[in-house]
Structure 1
Amino acid sequence: MMVTQKQVEAGQAVYTRRTLALYDFVVLGVSNPFIWKCPTRRLEDHYARHLSANHLDVGVGTGYFLDRCRFPADTPRVALMDLNPDTLAFAAQRIVRYAPKTYRRNVLEPIAFSGEGFDSVGVNYLLHCLPGSLAEKAVVFDHLKALMNPGAVIFGSTLLQGGVPRSALARGLMAAYNRKGIFSNREDDLETLQHELGQRFREVSVEVLGCAALFSGRA
């Protein structure tokens, strides 16, 4: 499948300053526990377990997890990467105390980056917003691996359709989001996610909570 720029932009265009102000309540407070059946606290624990003092966050949302988690150093190096300038600005302001560097990039393409590598990379709720099949958009892992130091960890979560339990409400909401282009996960399944991670990383872990998969792997 040939991914168009319009499809790439559709997955992140919904996140405006207005919708970001509601995101934590709607997605983290309602959708996660009651529709996707993945309590936000479990995502927070996943972050806390893998976060380093030299961290890159990709698909940054509102910066909720970076704001709430404790870094293993008082002055961590934090970088934010997203295609959407509104999410970058929102998250950067939320964690301004860490003086994060921001990078506007399309991670489906090779990433132009000349800085030092990172020890942890977070990709929370990003993959299901990217166009293409899961096997196609797993190229994101290749592009991010190039920014990781030896032994660094990549971790995150994504919402799946295949190989995970989904309630009627979850199926209906996913279908609606896919029609609008907010999600693009019609072909995303657990087996493919495990395979694509295993092809690129070692010590791969994938945990299913509701229709969410929490994953990690080391470079």
Structure 2
Amino acid sequence: MTVRPMPVDHQVGHEQYNPLTLRLYDTLVYGLTCPLFWKVPESALLRLYERNIAETHLDIGVGTGRLLDRCAMPVDRPRITLFDLNPHCLAHAARRLARYEVTTHLGSVLKPFPRLVGSHGSAALNLMLHCVPGDIPEKAIAFDHTAGCVRPGGKIFGSTVLSRGVPVTRRARFALGRLNAVRSFHNTEDDLEDLHEQLEKRFSRYRVTVYGCVALFEATVD
């Protein structure tokens, strides 16, 4: 595993993750909040990965690396780059994926990734844009930085929890209020129409699929 530091000047909701909380992450996120609050099954997220992941893949906002660990890979030993603000997440995911060729980078999705330009066949932003400050038009700079790391014809994909333009249950609305209050989430203004608009501006081919209040997006880099 190689760790390469990059400038970090935006904290976007991941500082609460440490070796102890990461032990609970999969149960809380994939076993509780995703199916019960956001109404997206883990199986839908796994299929999203399996439709789009390439043999050279960049994962941004890595969590514990669960989906990369569980999804079917296109080759036996893919080259995976993990990118996150939190060194604990990077270390945890890298250990979990040690059977692959893994490199880690510490940095912010709101800054360009100059060392990674054009070097991947796919890139994922899974369950992380709702943690980035600002509304969708402001956060969409993350699409530009990510697209710069993917070769033409490669895929960008991911998911994000929205607050507007999607069905939000009373339970989900309560959870979103709490998570935004403690600044774990920053998505009170995140709207499905804005997501479509920002993807359409950048990609000639894209699609968005909604599960509950989660939007799954897939786009091809021109």
Could you tell me the TM-score, scaled by structure 2's length? 0.93
Residue of structure 2 in register with 1:139 after alignment: 141
- RMSD value, Cα: 1.4
Correspondent of 2:55 among 49, 53, 56: 53
* Corresponding residue SS for 1:13: coil
SS in 1 for 2:134: coil
* SS across alignment from 1:97: coil
User: Which position in structure 1 is the counterpart of 2:40?
Assistant: 38
Find the residue that maps to 1:52 and give its secondary structure.
coil
Q: In 2, distance between residues paired with 1:40 and 1:59?
A: 17
| Structure 2: gaps of 5 or more residues | 1-7
Higher helix share: 1
Q: How many residues align?
A: 214
2:174 match: 172
Letter in 1 for 2:98: V
Partner of 1:181: 183
Which one of the candidate residues 108, 111, 114 is aligned to 2:110?
Answer: 108
Runs of 4+ aligned residues of structure 1 deviating over 3 Å after TM superposition are none
Residues 156 and 10 (structure 1), Cα distance of their counterparts in 2 relative to 1, 3 Å cut: closer
Question: Match for 1:196: what amino acid?
Answer: Q
> What do the CA deviations read for 1:39-88 (whole angstroms, capped 9, x no partner)?
11111111111111111100000000000012111121111001110100
Instruction: Please state whether the residue corresponding to 1:193 is helix, strand or coil.
Output: helix
Give the deviation of 1:18 after TM superposition: 1.1
The structure 1 residue matched to 2:128, chosen from 126, 129, 139, is 126
The code of the aligned residue for 1:36 comes to W
Displacement of 1:99 in angstroms is: 2.7
For 2:51 and 2:77, the matched residues in 1 are separated by 18
Letter in 2 for 1:143: H
Q: Name the counterpart of 1:84.
A: 86
Task: Give secondary structure in 2 for the equivalent of 1:11.
Answer: coil
Q: How many Å apart are 1:112 and its aligned residue?
A: 2.8
Deviation at 1:24, TM superposition (A): 0.5
Structure 1 vs Structure 2: percent identity of aligned residues? 43
